[in-house]
Structure 1
């Protein structure tokens, strides 16, 4: 039989889950605590009394972090009922541990005096954290009630931005002089009786608070008591300044395995310290905020918020997604005639777009993560582009080949299967390329690459995937009555003249593509009615294998910016001759 300690993690989890279950499922308990008990609920007084007693015991047993989790997991009425049961001397710590999204529901029910009493038991840095998230008029009233010295320190910390070291540093530090002996330091610590939380070192300063070094606790214990602090201290400690970004400081803590570090001003004087507690909070908040922004949610969005508030916070993101979806729909609408002639295209389009979106999101996730860890340097851009496009080529050939074979088997049409393979590979190439470019462009513009990248890559891969696939399979006539179906779309792309100024600006980009297509043409690949399908597959294979990355960029750019020229035979019996011709751009010499 297992025995659980009263503060074991498992027992705390069970008690927290039980508390949430009682308050969220038993409406009578919530109504009773809020003084809204109905007549029908009064008849069940026996069970209600037991449940109320159990709730009170659970609230008294659970520590502030568990009570904060319970508050976040409860709807509005149950949340306020639980808040009423929390002792006044514990409310400050609970409020500090809870998410800012639930603060409004709790603070609205409190008077200024109650809120001031709640803040009194907290450290200065904790008071500042709460005051920074309160309305300005309420903050001003609370500051006016605080002692002058504490009010001055709080105002000093509130000058720093939320995401800086100055906003999260602690003022409680233990300092010693370099001329003191370790025995004197030990006596000093005993007289203090209590050290600040997460204290692993003392700071060595002059009388003017100039930081000279740091003295670890294990150094005090393991060295001769008669040695002086200046002889055993670390003279070159890791320090931070109050205006540094907290997220970058968190990386230093992780890299150097720090538990605490000194915060100094421009003159080198000790202002306070940072501890691992604050750093963990910074990492958690940054991760949580990034996840919310990637999903189009505000930082204060609450899962139990009223419907009206939840709707307002999601409008902007839905509007962006609606616009991108509308663009993709217009691309499909432009090929209505093509889809009506070959309905199989409609069932295959989502596959091309979906696989491109997945590839793009994988690339973006990897690039954004590498940027967050500072693994990407300016000179690595070309390498990343080539690497991701190489991965896309292999994936496109493998999975595009599989889907091409499946399409051939389903529709008994090898030409459609070849078009499916080509479209998948081109869309994967485009997705990989944009997955690298989009985050880097957003960083150049000073925007967070984690926000909006997924929407942009989805829009591009959906729109581009539909366009590439439908354009490759455009104008599918009967095999007996016209040119080859799969080759027709590709030849139409390859024979488009660059008539617009923008197309002429893309000459360097499409040069390699023209070389590839011209090479196929120069080998004299001609597709007549006899053995036409085998010939088409050879042309497609040659086009795919020769410089696939350049082909992807070139075909997509020309498809978007040029006009189509087609040629038809006058009689069905006439010999149909289709040949890939070089683009009529006189400035291209890479043949």
Structure 2
């Protein structure tokens, strides 16, 4: 018997999305027919049709993972999204809210009551409630807090007391801690009594009587070593742990470097406070990457794909206005040298080439620096050598590209002096571009700011202006008499 070809996840999601959209279109058609009905039971018919709609959507989405439902909701316009959410939210816990983007979550929560949100949160762990806390209204949050026991409230307050970029904000409390004076058989019996392991449990945390972490016991060792062996003998003492106020970027790099699944989180005294898991780190990396991409593109914050035109416009105006200002600055430079351009019209076609090459070169440098800063590869010891290397590379590239542009200019205009000026301008602008591409991200990082914010836009503006300025100054000095 032939085995059916497996459908990849992307194709599967697209199929589910298309099926939901067809259902919604069919519902719209049925609703329009019911509205036109002149039956005396119009209200009853309307209620029955609405119920049928909900049942169809629930059946379609009932077997999907929360992340798949989140993808469908994010891909629907606001009105259709609300229809789907109203139909399925009663059958799903808060996991769907955790999976959707911040912008989409805001639209879903805005249509929910305080009591409804409290019921949703009752099915979540404290670390998951903390993820939603920023989007939940205060009154609903108070209801949620009152529904928690004292330990859960304490855990929630602990997580919320840390900044989003600190390890404490991402930790959970699903760890299993054991004493080092037990034998492995006792540990196995204890785990069996628990009934199940918390998700992402690949190791147990070994603590002393003061709750100070002394080591970790990987499950592999627990299962392969003799049951009579002591935990102190089987545990690993060379392990990775994180301070509760440590930078999450550092933790993310450690998870990648050491292929971690979970790791203990401790305070200044080394006492166990919680654990950090790979799923939280993956979410952090994805959100950080998305945020950096939006910032580099000049979008102020995470934007709902189907948010209102007015809201999207306000989100993008900031950097667009900065672009307008920098563009006008470039035109002012051209105005100052109008007489030079009028005497040598060829400059008008060659200036954009010099400016564009400067922008490309500067972006290459800045992207390399931003990536290296994110990976923690740049420090006080090697930054001078990095700057020296980049400047040397800029000189080499400037000479190489300058000669090529100079030759092409000579072929086009048969003007040796013009070719030399354009080639020299290219060399100088590429040097300027690299210097700017180094200064902006390194400077922002030195000031404790995100090196990615606005770097591309500022760099392009500077290299464009400087490209025009350098070409026109050299032309006035050596070509115009």
Same fold (TM over 0.5): yes
Following superposition, the deviation at residue 488 of structure 1 comes to: 4.4
1:252-263 aligned within 5 A: 252-263=254-265
1:104 partner SS = helix
Q: 1:3 maps to what in 2?
A: 4
Runs of 4+ more than 6 Å apart: 40-43, 48-54
For the pair 1:403 / 2:397, whether they are aligned, the reply is: no
Mapped to 2, the partners of 1:178 and 1:105 lie a distance apart of 49
Following superposition, the deviation at residue 275 of structure 1 comes to: 1.0
Mapped to 2, the partners of 1:446 and 1:299 lie a distance apart of 20
Q: In 1, are the aligned partners of 2:122 and 2:147 still within 8 Å (CA)?
A: no
Following superposition, the deviation at residue 346 of structure 1 comes to: 1.0
1:170-209 aligned within 5 A: 170-209=172-211
Following superposition, the deviation at residue 372 of structure 1 comes to: 1.4
1:61 partner SS = coil
Alignment counterpart, residue 231 of structure 2, candidates 222, 229, 254: 229
Following superposition, the deviation at residue 141 of structure 1 comes to: 3.7
CA deviation vs aligned residue, 1:163-196 (integer Å, no higher than 9, x gap): 2111111112212222222122222222222100
Inter-CA distance 50–137: structure 2 relative to 1 (3 Å threshold): closer
1:554-573 aligned within 5 A: none
For the pair 1:37 / 2:31, whether they are aligned, the reply is: yes
Q: 2:84 maps to what in 1?
A: 82
Inter-CA distance 472–30: structure 2 relative to 1 (3 Å threshold): farther
Mapped to 2, the partners of 1:208 and 1:382 lie a distance apart of 46
Inter-CA distance 81–91: structure 2 relative to 1 (3 Å threshold): farther
Following superposition, the deviation at residue 199 of structure 1 comes to: 0.4
Alignment counterpart, residue 126 of structure 1, candidates 120, 125, 128: 128
For the pair 1:418 / 2:420, whether they are aligned, the reply is: yes
Inter-CA distance 191–381: structure 2 relative to 1 (3 Å threshold): closer
Q: 1:68 maps to what in 2?
A: 70
Instruction: State the TM-score, normalized to the length of structure 1.
Output: 0.74
1:278 partner SS = helix
1:491-506 aligned within 5 A: none
Mapped to 2, the partners of 1:25 and 1:395 lie a distance apart of 55
Mapped to 1, the partners of 2:253 and 2:383 lie a distance apart of 23
Following superposition, the deviation at residue 349 of structure 1 comes to: 1.2
Mapped to 2, the partners of 1:24 and 1:468 lie a distance apart of 56
For the pair 1:468 / 2:451, whether they are aligned, the reply is: no
Following superposition, the deviation at residue 382 of structure 1 comes to: 3.6
Alignment counterpart, residue 347 of structure 1, candidates 343, 349, 362: 349
Q: In 2, are the aligned partners of 1:261 and 1:275 still within 8 Å (CA)?
A: yes
CA deviation vs aligned residue, 1:107-132 (integer Å, no higher than 9, x gap): 12211222112111111111111113
Alignment counterpart, residue 433 of structure 1, candidates 432, 435, 440: 435
1:24-423 aligned within 5 A: 24=21, 28-29=25-26, 31=28, 37-39=31-33, 55-423=57-425
Following superposition, the deviation at residue 197 of structure 1 comes to: 0.4
Q: In 2, are the aligned partners of 1:176 and 1:202 still within 8 Å (CA)?
A: yes
CA deviation vs aligned residue, 1:476-527 (integer Å, no higher than 9, x gap): xxxxxxxxxxx347xxxxxxxxxxxxxxxxxxxxxxxxxxxxxxxxxxxxxx
Aligned length: 469
Following superposition, the deviation at residue 14 of structure 1 comes to: 3.4
Q: In 2, are the aligned partners of 1:22 and 1:29 still within 8 Å (CA)?
A: no
Tell me the C-alpha RMSD between the 2 structures. Answer: 2.6
Following superposition, the deviation at residue 398 of structure 1 comes to: 2.4
Q: In 2, are the aligned partners of 1:349 and 1:465 still within 8 Å (CA)?
A: yes
Mapped to 1, the partners of 2:263 and 2:75 lie a distance apart of 35
Mapped to 1, the partners of 2:274 and 2:472 lie a distance apart of 64
Q: 2:42 maps to what in 1?
A: none
Q: 2:40 maps to what in 1?
A: none
Q: In 2, are the aligned partners of 1:24 and 1:75 still within 8 Å (CA)?
A: no
Q: In 2, are the aligned partners of 1:128 and 1:157 still within 8 Å (CA)?
A: yes
1:37 partner SS = helix
CA deviation vs aligned residue, 1:353-396 (integer Å, no higher than 9, x gap): 00100000001011111111122222434433332232222222
Q: 2:13 maps to what in 1?
A: 16
Mapped to 2, the partners of 1:9 and 1:121 lie a distance apart of 32
Mapped to 2, the partners of 1:150 and 1:174 lie a distance apart of 17
Who wins on radius of gyration, i.e. which is larger? Answer: 1
CA deviation vs aligned residue, 1:123-158 (integer Å, no higher than 9, x gap): 111111111333434423432343344223212221
Mapped to 1, the partners of 2:417 and 2:52 lie a distance apart of 74
Higher deviation after alignment, 465-474 or 13-22:
13-22
Unmatched 5+ stretches in structure 2 = 38-45
Inter-CA distance 384–206: structure 2 relative to 1 (3 Å threshold): closer
1:212 partner SS = strand
Following superposition, the deviation at residue 56 of structure 1 comes to: 4.1
Q: In 2, are the aligned partners of 1:23 and 1:78 still within 8 Å (CA)?
A: no
Inter-CA distance 53–142: structure 2 relative to 1 (3 Å threshold): closer
Mapped to 2, the partners of 1:26 and 1:473 lie a distance apart of 66
1:132 partner SS = helix
CA deviation vs aligned residue, 1:422-478 (integer Å, no higher than 9, x gap): 111111111112211222122222221111211221111111100111122227xxx
Mapped to 1, the partners of 2:346 and 2:301 lie a distance apart of 44
**Larger RCO (CA under 8 A, 6+ residues apart):** 2
Mapped to 1, the partners of 2:284 and 2:270 lie a distance apart of 25
Mapped to 1, the partners of 2:414 and 2:427 lie a distance apart of 21
Following superposition, the deviation at residue 325 of structure 1 comes to: 1.1
Mapped to 2, the partners of 1:107 and 1:312 lie a distance apart of 22
